[in-house]
């Protein structure tokens, strides 16, 4: 079972192998409002006992992550989000046939500035992270990006 946030909706997606083809299939079993922090009756009715437990753990992870993100500075959240965004950028570059020259130069300049800033910051690094049991990495990334987006909107 995967729980995928799409806007203000959380989709409960059952992942299974098709008995005829053996291919992995995904089926949205039910969905609910993203602002809900517990399993609603209509959602529970559509899920198996195991899936309900997974959802309860996922909601707990999400609440814990949101709490941790509220306590962190926006700068920390941005930096913790950066490796996942960079991994997605690498995937995107691998899939593109061509890249706009201006975009290439902008990324190159940003990477140089980031590299310089990382070298300056190396002397005061620490080790600290939040462990999530059920929440997929992509969903945790969405939560972090939501915090960053909200902060940017406040600055407008």
Q: Is 15 helix (H, G, I), strand (E, B) or coil?
A: strand
Q: Tally Cβ neighbours within 10 Å of residue 136.
A: 14
C-alpha atoms less than 13 angstroms from C-alpha of 15 in its C-beta half-sphere: 6
User: What does the block give as tokens for 98?
Assistant: 């061509």
Q: Into how many domains does the chain fold?
A: 1
- Which has the closest alpha carbon to 67: 132, 156, 152, 153? 132
Q: Tell me, what's the pLDDT at 155?
A: 66
Q: Tell me, what's the pLDDT at 146?
A: 80
Contacts (Cβ under 8 Å, ≥6 apart) of 34: 5, 7, 8, 9, 10
Q: Tell me, what's the pLDDT at 38?
A: 81
pTM beyond 0.85, yes or no = no
Sign of the Cα pseudo-torsion (39, 8, 147, 126, in order): positive
The three-point CA angle 7-14-149 to 5° equals 20
Averaged pLDDT, groups of 10, the chain, 156 residues long: 92 94 95 86 94 92 85 86 91 95 96 94 72 66 76 67
- Which has the closest alpha carbon to 125: 79, 72, 74, 71? 79
Q: Tell me, what's the pLDDT at 124?
A: 79
Q: Tell me, what's the pLDDT at 133?
A: 61
Domain range for 56 is 1-156
User: What does the block give as tokens for 91?
Assistant: 């995937």
- Rg of the chain (C-alpha set): 19
């Amino acid at each position: 079972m995967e729980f995928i946030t799409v806007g203000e909706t959380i989709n409960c997606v059952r992942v299974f192998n098709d008995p005829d083809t053996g291919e992995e299939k995904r089926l949205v079993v039910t969905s609910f409002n993203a602002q809900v922090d517990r399993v609603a009756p209509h959602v529970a009715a559509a899920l198996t006992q195991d899936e309900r437990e997974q959802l309860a753990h996922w909601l707990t992870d999400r609440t814990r992550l949101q709490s941790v993100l509220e306590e962190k500075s926006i700068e920390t959240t941005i930096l913790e989000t950066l490796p996942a965004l960079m991994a997605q950028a690498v995937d995107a570059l691998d899939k593109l046939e061509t890249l706009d020259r201006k975009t290439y130069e902008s990324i190159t300049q940003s990477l140089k500035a980031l590299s310089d800033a990382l070298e300056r910051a190396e002397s005061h690094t620490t080790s600290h992270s939040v462990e999530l049991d059920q929440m997929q990495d992509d969903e945790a990334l969405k939560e972090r990006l939501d915090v960053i987006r909200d902060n940017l909107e406040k600055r407008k």
